[in-house]
């Protein structure tokens, strides 16, 4: 099988969050398509807390090129998908390198100014949404861009789908204890709505420690590092899925929520425009609480429209076909 390197930060491979789920899904899909996806990550100068001085964002990646290149050469790899823009310089050594962004230079994100110089060097990318393709073209003149969704697991979406298990007052939020994700808003909502059962799910165990700084109301249920199976099980029992992030490149839980027929409340930002179905409602900080309550009060326990839309738009079958076409061209 032809080898392709997938370069991500070490912590992204270790946490039960979007990047790791994407990596494992791509690796499994690669085996089906005759492509060996090899995981590559820097082993030093990487902190478990990406906001510590000296470790933040693309800045620290610049000192990891020797480690990364050693791994790539050891595996005799010529094609690399890198998910962090700080590794754009790889194309100096490996012309067949392509960016799959886990972040983007958007003003809503911390450190976006630092990302810009790296994006000015990108010449080829794979993104998950048409919005990101438009942004790459308009802001950085990157036109060689494939749009391939990160397909949810149809097996899990079918295994766990049972509308009779929906708890009518259960609200689900999935994110990180980071300012961009706005966990503070979820806590505030729970305090003002004690009749609601609010689940907050965090991808990594490190957030168990950081969430201790908050006053957690009794109707909040915290969960950490759940498996995909556990995520879908909890998703099924929830009436409403709520995202209040400022910006997102992946938005994987939103596509999974649609696939599970949840009533969705999401941000108005255009990066979420692909989350578009009959019972997906866009709002903002001024009206989110009211939207969540309206969704919870809906006479319907689930949305078949949302579920059908997700299966037609984001399924793993669609992801597989997208990468089949991409690899057939890129790996010539």
Given a cut of 80, is residue 55 above it in pLDDT?
A: no
Q: Which residue has the higher pLDDT, 87 or 34?
A: 34
Given a cut of 80, is residue 108 above it in pLDDT?
A: no
Confidence class for position 168, pLDDT limits 50, 70, 90:
very high
Q: Which pLDDT score is estimated for 201?
A: 97
| pTM exceeding the 0.85 threshold for the entire prediction | yes
Interatomic CA distance for residues 180 and 103, integer angstroms: 12
Given a cut of 90, is residue 304 above it in pLDDT?
A: yes
**E strand residue ranges, the chain:** 2-7, 35-40, 79-82, 96-99, 125-127, 145-147, 167-175, 197-202, 220-224, 238-242, 263-267, 280-283
Q: Which residues of 288-306 are buried (b: 16+ CB within 10 A; e: fewer)?
A: bbebbbebbeeeeebbeeb
pLDDT digits (tens, 9 = 90+) for 238-276: 999 999 999 998 889 999 999 999 999 999 999 999 999
Interatomic CA distance for residues 56 and 110, integer angstroms: 10
Given a cut of 90, is residue 102 above it in pLDDT?
A: no
- Rounded mean pLDDT, 77-89: 91
> 73-77, 205-209, 258-262 — which is least confidently predicted?
205-209
């Amino acid at each position: 099988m032809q080898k392709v390197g997938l370069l991500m930060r070490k912590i992204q491979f270790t946490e039960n969050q979007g990047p790791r789920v994407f990596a494992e899904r791509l690796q499994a899909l690669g085996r089906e398509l005759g492509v060996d996806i090899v995981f590559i990550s820097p082993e030093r100068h990487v902190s478990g807390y990406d906001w510590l001085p000296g470790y933040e964002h693309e800045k620290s990646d610049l000192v990891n090129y020797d480690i990364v290149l050693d791994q790539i050469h050891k595996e005799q790899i010529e094609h690399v998908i890198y998910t962090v823009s700080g590794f754009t310089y790889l194309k100096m050594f490996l012309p067949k390198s392509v960016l799959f962004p886990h972040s983007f230079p958007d003003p809503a994100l911390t450190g976006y100014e630092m990302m810009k110089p790296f994006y000015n060097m990108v010449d080829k990318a794979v993104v998950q949404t048409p919005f990101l393709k438009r942004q790459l073209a308009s802001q950085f003149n990157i036109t060689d861009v494939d749009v391939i969704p990160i397909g949810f697991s149809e097996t899990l979406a079918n295994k766990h789908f049972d509308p009779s298990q929906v708890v009518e007052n259960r609200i689900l939020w999935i994110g990180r204890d980071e300012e961009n994700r706005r966990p503070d808003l979820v806590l505030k909502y729970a305090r003002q709505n004690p009749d609601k059962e609010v689940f907050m799910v965090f991808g990594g165990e490190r957030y168990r420690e950081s969430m201790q700084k908050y006053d957690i109301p009794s109707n909040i249920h915290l969960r950490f590092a759940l498996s995909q199976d556990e995520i879908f099980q909890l998703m099924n029992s929830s009436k409403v899925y709520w995202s209040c992030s400022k910006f997102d490149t992946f938005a994987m839980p939103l596509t999974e929520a649609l696939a599970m027929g949840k009533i969705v409340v999401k941000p108005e930002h255009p990066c979420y425009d692909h989350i578009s179905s009959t019972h997906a409602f866009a709002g903002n900080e001024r009206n989110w609480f009211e939207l969540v309550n309206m969704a919870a009060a809906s006479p319907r326990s689930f949305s078949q429209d949302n579920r059908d839309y997700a299966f037609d738009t984001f399924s793993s079958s669609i992801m597989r076909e997208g990468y089949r076409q991409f690899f057939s061209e890129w790996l010539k």
